[in-house]
Amino acid sequence: MNLLKSIASVFAGILAIVLLSTGTDFALENLGVFPPIDHGQMMPWMLALAFLYRMIYGIAGGYLTAVLAPRLPLRHAVVLGIIGTIASIAGAIVGWNLSDHWYPIALVVTALPTTWIGGKMKVGKSIIVTDK
């Protein structure tokens, strides 16, 4: 039973990140902030905005996964981050020429840290290491 709950918690984090990211992309395209996908590359500020909200959604996904985890919430958030890193690597390979190269690299590099931060927020322990 715990295995199913673990899988469901990670899946919920994936689903939240994907739905929030694509939903925001869709909304910004419909509002005219972003060009439609088939109209060429986005400007650097558009990529920066997309990167920012994807980081926020990664943190939220890590938090949600940790909340739903039956035990070891931070470990579940890290598993989510590993899956996100693998998916981001695949996306970077497939879409390498679709945007400035810093963008897919940044998504790969931040996938795990953002979900880890979300998991740490749930666990409630300090993210910052002190000498005390």
Domain limits, the chain: 2-123
Q: Which amino acid is at 32?
A: G
| pTM for the whole structure | 0.90
Percentage of the residues of the chain whose pLDDT score is greater than 70 = 93
What digits encode the pLDDT tens for the residues 101-125? 999 999 999 999 999 999 999 998 6
Q: What angle do CA 51, 103, 75 make, to 5 degrees?
A: 65
- Predicted confidence (pLDDT) at residue 11 exceeds the cutoff of 70: yes
Tokens 């984090």 found at:
13
Alpha helices in the chain (DSSP H): 2-30, 44-68, 73-94, 102-123
Cα–Cα dist 132/130, whole Å:
6
Q: How far apart are CA 83 and CA 11, in angstroms?
A: 10
